[in-house]
Structures are given as structure tokens and as C-alpha cells.
Amino acid sequence: MEEIRFDSEFITLGQLLKMTDAIDSGGMAKWFLSEHIVYVNGEVDQRRGRKLRNKDIVNIPGVGRFQMVGPENGD
């Protein structure tokens, strides 16, 4: 599992797709999510605006599994 580090409170699923090179541009996120199954914490999610926070796990079949590593926010 690969770690994705970020400094803000969250990143969106669309941003993650671009960071992992699953898509070339942010505009492709909606299409990608309509054509591919993506799991967030074990559940299918197709919302490009889904907020990913510290410790979330995203599985993009054919691309990889990613653990979000962001600010702890008091955890």
C-alpha cells in the first residue's frame, strides 16, 4: 500500500486520481469514476468531490491501494 501525504484537512477523490496518474486532468475524474469501480474504506464511491482524510484507504483496481496521510487533527 502506498502512502499519499497531504498538508490540508482533506483532499478530494478527484485530486487523488490525478496525483496517482489514474487520470491526466481533473476534468477526467467524472468519466473515470463512471467507468471504473473505486473503493474508499472498503465501500464503492463515485463522488469525485468525496473528501479523503487522514487514515482513509482508497483502492483503485488496476492503479493501486493508497493510505491517506494528512494532519492528525487531534486523533
First-last CA distance in the chain: 22
Taking only the tens place, the pLDDT of each residue in 5-60 is 999 999 999 999 999 999 998 889 999 999 999 999 999 999 999 999 999 999 99
Domain that holds residue 20: 2-69
74 domain-assigned: no
CA torsion sign for 71, 36, 50, 41 is negative
CATH number for the domain spanning 60: value is: 3.10.290.10
28 domain-assigned: yes
47 domain-assigned: yes
- Total domains, the chain: 1
75 domain-assigned: no
Q: What is the pTM of this model?
A: 0.88
